[in-house]
Amino acid sequence: MHNTINNADKTAAAEAVRKDIPLLRGGGVHYLDNAATALMPQVVTDATAGYDNNNRANIGRGLHKFAEVADARYGESRRALARLLNAADDEVIFTSGASAGLNLLAAALGQTLSPADAVVLSIAEHHSNIVPWQIAAKRYGFSLRFAAIDKSGAIDIGDLSRQNADGRARVFSLTNASNVSGAINNIGKMAKAARAHNDNAIIIIDGAQYAPHYPAGLAATLAATLGEDAADFYVFSGHKCYAPNGIGILCGRRAALESLPPVIGGGGAVNSVREDDYDMAAIPRRLEVGTPPITQAIGLAAAMQWAVNIPAAARQNANDLATMARQGLREIKGVRVLFDIGGDDNNNDNDKKGEGFLPIISFTMDNVHPHDCCQLLSAHNVAARGGNMCAEPLMRRVSPNGCVRVSIAPYNNAADITAMLDGVRETAKLLGR
């Protein structure tokens, strides 16, 4: 699909989004670290402060009227997020983030696996979608396999299928989009490839990077029924979705969630407790232990509502800025853009095709450590990320010394990219040779 929105409209749309972000209102801040944490719009801060200042009470436990109001607000938040995900209310589990969700799944599903089984990840996974499986594999004896990526950084679908040629892989846990390359992986294609040799393979999708960019696309991520070529479980983090820290979502169909053996327990997750046994509650409670992150859940619902309403023009602007960044970086001597396959087809139809790239650009500089580049960028008020991106298996293959990453959101503008490029040029002049 060709981009038909003109540049002036895209810029205007981005500026309107930018006005929602208090941290950007003063000017002079070039925040390009959105893949690490996104900035919060005022409406989210208002929602959380509103709850804390006016409705704060514990939920699910109190019989007083304040608790009833808090219960209602918390329930509304879950309902709103469930609608976004095309899920039932009880199919949305609040966690502390994508990492917590993946840890829960690995710990639970790991119990069901034996040394005869395998779990397939990809080489592009974040540590939070590798280490929990490694821990479980050591405990329960199953093997881990890693699907390769292609030169764009996307998971190689052919290799994904080959990883289960013997039919032993029972779980596939894969990223919806890489936090290094930005390459988007089509969930349907991954699920189909994963189940080519095992109809019952469980598909877990890490949506931490994808969710903030295409919140409207989340409705299509989850399988309507078990076995459909979609995700059985989908996780993402609130803080990357313009929401507070400490909140995330694990979403799954009821049958899939109910099949998870218990790995956590305590108040709220049980119906009753005796000295010799316990009776677990139904979902979602059985997977949410203790007093939940009420404030943060309310903030997440407000954030996703805001994100869904970001104009397409602003998202297209973000993709255009990624193109601008990529082209500018290519022109600086000593800079190598990682996973640069040439051209700039950012595919603004990502919602439908589920492919293409997020506006994330990772690069290296000859003779310059990423840490030094980021420090010098900081002198230009540019926030970028340097290091291994919590993706060491991937980085060991493409750049053992790490890289610099800039990640763009709908509230960024051309001045942000210009400042970044100026900073990289200065770094090259000072430290490169």
Partner 1 sequence: MTGLYHGDIISLARANINAGVLPNAPMAKQTNPWCGDECTISAAFDNGRIVKSLHQTRGCILCLAAAAKATTIATQLGDPSQFLALANTLAKTLQDNTPPESLELPKGLTLPEGLELFTPAIPAKNRHNCILLPFQALTELIQTQNI
Binding site for partner 1 (CB under 8 A): 369-372, 375-376, 378-379, 386-388, 395, 400-402, 426, 430-431
Q: Are 102 and 132 in contact (CB under 8 A)?
A: yes
Whether the Cβ atoms of residue 396 and residue 345 lie closer than 8 Å to each other:
no
The answer to whether the peptide bond before residue 284 is cis (omega within 30 degrees of 0) is yes
Q: How far is the CB of 394 from partner 1 (least distance, A)?
A: 13
- 160/158 Cα distance (integer angstroms): 5
The answer to whether the beta carbons of residues 157 and 195 sit under 8 Å apart is no
Enter the tokens of residue 418.
């210009």
As measured in angstroms, the least distance from the Cβ of 376 to partner 1 is 6
Name which of 271 and 401 has its Cβ closer to partner 1. 401
Closer by beta carbon to partner 1, 153 or else 370 = 370
CA atoms within 13 A on the CB side of 13: 19
Distance CA 20, CA 43 (A): 8
Reduced to 3 states (helix: H, G, I; strand: E, B; else coil), residue 280 is: strand
Characterise 60 by phi-psi region: left (phi > 0), alpha (psi -120 to 50), beta (else).
left
Between 25 and 371, name the residue whose CB sits nearer to partner 1.
371
Give least dist CB 103 to partner 1, A. 18
* Region at 177 (left for phi over 0; alpha for psi -120 to 50; beta for the rest): beta
| Nearer Cβ to partner 1 (189/369) | 369
Residue 103, amino acid? N
Residue 378 beta carbon to partner 1: minimum distance, rounded to whole angstroms:
8
Classify 227 in phi/psi space as left (phi over 0), alpha (psi -120 to 50) or beta: left
Phi, psi of 204 (to 5 degrees): -110, 135
Active-site hit among 251, 373, 374, 390: 390
Which residue's CB is nearer to partner 1, number 311 or number 387?
387
Nearest residue (CB) to partner 1, 327 versus 367:
367
CA angle 316, 318, 336 (to 5 degrees): 125
When the beta carbons of 179 and 296 are compared against partner 1, the nearer one is 179
What is the C-alpha to C-alpha distance for residues 239 and 96, in angstroms, rounded to an integer? 10
Taking alpha carbons only, the member of 212, 207, 216 closest to residue 236 is: 207
Name the helix (H) or strand (E) containing 362.
strand 360-365
Is 312 in contact with 88 (CB distance < 8 Å)?
Answer: no
Q: What minimum distance in Å lies between the beta carbon of 338 and partner 1?
A: 15
Minimum CB–partner distance for residue 330 and partner 1 (Å) = 24
Find the shortest distance in angstroms from Cβ 401 to partner 1: 6
Nearer to partner 1, 97 or 386 (CB): 386
DSSP state of 230: S
In this structure, what token pair is assigned to residue 188?
Answer: 């349907």
DSSP letter (8 states) at residue 285: G
- DSSP output for 208-226: TTTTTT-GGGGGGTB-SST
Instruction: Give the shortest CB-90-to-partner 1 separation in angstroms.
Output: 38
Q: Is 403 a catalytic residue?
A: no
The residues annotated as belonging to the active site are 390
